[in-house]
Structure formats: C-alpha cells, structure tokens
Amino acid sequence: MTNSLLDTLEDLDINVWFDEANMTIGSLPGDEAKKAIEEVQYVLVLLSAQSLKSKWVIQEIEMALEIEAKINRVKVLPVLLDDCEVPNSLRDRVHGRLRSVDDLEKVAAMIKSRLQS
C-alpha cells in the first residue's frame, strides 16, 4: 500500500522523501530522518500495527511533533493503514484512511489539499 501511495503522490507532482528509499548505507537512521523532517514541509506518517512497533517510527513521530510545536503549524499528516492503536499525540487529528487501493485517490487528494493550503 505504501508504494502505491508514493506512486500516486508522485503522479500528482508531489515530491516525496521516503526513508527506506533515501537513506544511505552505513548512515544513522535517526540522523538522516531528523534532517529530512526538518527540511520537508510535511511529514506523512503511515500508521499500522506493524509500523508502530518500530522504535524508529515512534522517534520520527516525536521529532516531527517537536518541530511542529516550534514552528506553530501543522507538519504531521497521519494516515491509518489498519485498525491500530493511534498514539495519544495524534488521536485528536483528522486522519487519512488507506485500507485498500480504493482509498488511494481520496487520501492523495487530502494530502494535495493540505499542501495547497
């Protein structure tokens, strides 16, 4: 589902930095992720039961929320991939819901709308 979303966003001319594709061998994931989070306009967080087991995902969410608080504007855009336990820090936000390929266009439109606001 993740790759389909990335392809859909790129088809809409939305530049995407994806950690698994953009990190270099031998780098420290936390350092590269922090640099990217600081540089990008928005952080799309794909939430699933599996992703939330990753300490890196949790750290990236925390980093993005810290930056969001400093700049005083929305930076974190959560998208639910399954019925996972949403972190407390993201529970009050509107979420995209990407449960199937049928949801791709709707979620991509939500993201594009945020980028244009």
pLDDT digits (tens, 9 = 90+) for 100-115: 999 999 999 999 999 8
Q: Which of 81, 43, 83, 73 is nearest to 59 (CA)?
A: 43
pTM: 0.86
pLDDT digits (tens, 9 = 90+) for 7-35: 888 888 888 867 665 556 666 556 777 88
* Calpha distance 27→117 (Å, rounded): 34
Instruction: Give the CA distances from residue 64 to residues 4, 48, 69, 100, 101, in Å, rounded to whole numbers and listed in that order.
Output: 23, 18, 9, 26, 27
Domains defined for the chain, CATH in brackets: 2-116 (3.40.50.10140)
* Calpha distance 75→64 (Å, rounded): 7
